[in-house]
Amino acid sequence: MRPVHMVFHSNAAAGESHRSRAAGTEVPPTAVSLRPVLAGLQPIIPAGMLSGPGLDRVLSVADRLPAVAAGYMGFELRLDRPDPAADLCAAFYPGGPLAGWLSSSGRGARPGTPPAALGGFADRYTRREAAWARASRLAILEYDAADDPPADGLPGVFLIFARPLPIRGRAAPGVAAAAAGGLPGALGLPALPAVRPRVEGVLSAFGDSALVSNVGVFPARSRDSVRLVFAGLNPSSVPGMLLAAGWPGPSGEITRALGDFGGLVRSLGLSLDVDASGVGPRAGLELFAGPPDGWAEDSPSDWTPLLDRLEALGLCLPAKADALRGWTGRSRVFTSWGVRVACRGVNHVKITFGVGAPSVKAYVGLALLDPAGGGPAGPGVPASGGAPAAGPPPARRPAPPPGGSSPPAVRRRDGSVTCSAARGGAGISDGC
């Protein structure tokens, strides 16, 4: 296997700038795993965010993915725990390079194994024959790596809808069918017929108060429940929505959080787990402070007020807040396959209530872009079924890192990536 060498130079001329089309995602050879790519990007990952044993666990999980996953990836970070650890996420669209790699790997895998299950899912997703596949613009894989040891088996899998769906009329049964039948079935898991009416009940209880942005399953955690993620919430409606849905948790805590943070965010989301008995004990309040076009358009100042408030309330450790303040931006990196732009941003922060003290996570994005243009499928990247790989979907909003509400819209608003002056340091040009 030919290794990838991520080489960081420091000779970029000060004051140099250029603008070029960002036509898609990074495309190093698929024979190479994501691990050496992430290891090479370590200089731009704050140590307070991910380092030491936590980084080692992420790197071990990255061996399960190809280097093309660097085009759409992210991390889930616990802000209330001191260890610099994270879960790893990778997103892909139908017919894209990662979907092609998953399909190809699945065809050679032993039936019943995670590669076979993910390959079958990628095949069905790319064919777009099922209603759940046609309704989704992006899928996200979430690998649990924050705890030791990293979880084995299937990762969490989420479907991001092409646009948040209103949950009235015929949409509710379709969402329930996707969450409790189509998605588990595509992964080779048993359907959840007893969960479907519970999902429909939650959607009916919410009525016109929310939109469904994505649905997901976590086979390594539970094979008996699904996750629903809602977007576009009115803060004043959230306590009543949870009461109507039968959430058994402490609504007073969420009401206080809405008062603490409601004025500091652009939009709100909500995640709930649903099983055959109804809504589970955990509810995740998702806080979006970045611009409407998604995390690829972030600036550090977007998140400063929210991070300051979280830190003041003891919900975010100072080291984690500092790491996030230094995360957003663009850097030019020099690799053995050419110059790339590493785009970094914060998608959202989630506060989970219901079991013990609230827990807090940040969902951050990282995408390697080719500033010289070219298609998203590079040499040796097969498209599922032999068809040409499609380009990224035209989306102004980002798609989420898992469990959350939207992963990487890796293009800027005008479809370009702007690189500005290098500021030195390990051969990485910040501000690109």
pLDDT of 167 reads 62
Whole-angstrom Cα distance, residue 280 to residue 46? Answer: 35
CA angle 74, 293, 409 (to 5 degrees): 40
Q: What is the DSSP letter of 179?
A: I
Strands (E), 258-370: 267-275, 278-288, 329-335, 338-353, 359-369
The count of other CB atoms within 10 Å of the CB of residue 431 is 14
- Secondary structure (3-state) at 276: coil
Residue with tokens 């309040």: 285
- CA separation for the pair 239, 258 (Å, rounded): 9
What is the pLDDT tens value at each position of the chain, 432 positions in all? 222 334 433 222 222 222 222 223 333 445 689 999 999 999 999 999 999 999 999 999 999 999 999 998 999 999 999 999 999 999 999 999 999 999 999 998 999 999 999 999 999 999 999 989 998 999 999 999 999 888 788 999 999 987 776 665 456 778 899 999 999 999 999 999 999 999 999 998 887 777 899 999 999 999 999 999 999 888 999 999 999 999 999 989 999 999 999 889 999 999 999 999 999 999 999 999 988 778 877 888 899 999 999 999 999 999 999 999 999 999 988 877 778 899 999 999 999 999 889 999 999 999 988 887 533 322 222 222 222 222 333 233 333 333 343 333 333 333 333 322 222 222 333 333
Predicted local confidence at residue 174, as pLDDT: 83
Q: Where are the alpha helices (DSSP H) in 5-158?
A: 34-40, 52-62, 97-107, 114-127, 131-134
Q: How confident is the model at residue 209, as a pLDDT?
A: 73
Contact 59, 19 (CB under 8 A): no
Distances (CA, A) of 339 to 33, 152, 226, 375: 19, 34, 41, 15
Q: Residue 88: phi, psi to the nearest 5?
A: -110, 135
How many CA atoms are closer than 13 Å to the CA of 123, on its beta-carbon side?
A: 17
Q: What is the pLDDT of residue 15?
A: 24
pLDDT at site 394: 29
Q: Which residue(s) pair with 214 in the sheet?
A: 160, 229
pLDDT for position 181:
93
- CA gap 253, 288 in Å, rounded: 19
DSSP category for residue 33: B
Bridge partners (DSSP) of residue 117 are: none
- Which pLDDT belongs to residue 162? 78
pLDDT score recorded for residue 170: 56
In this prediction, residue 157 carries a pLDDT of 97
Question: For 53, left (φ over 0), alpha (ψ -120 to 50), or beta?
Answer: alpha
CA quadruple 411, 413, 417, 419: dihedral positive or negative? negative
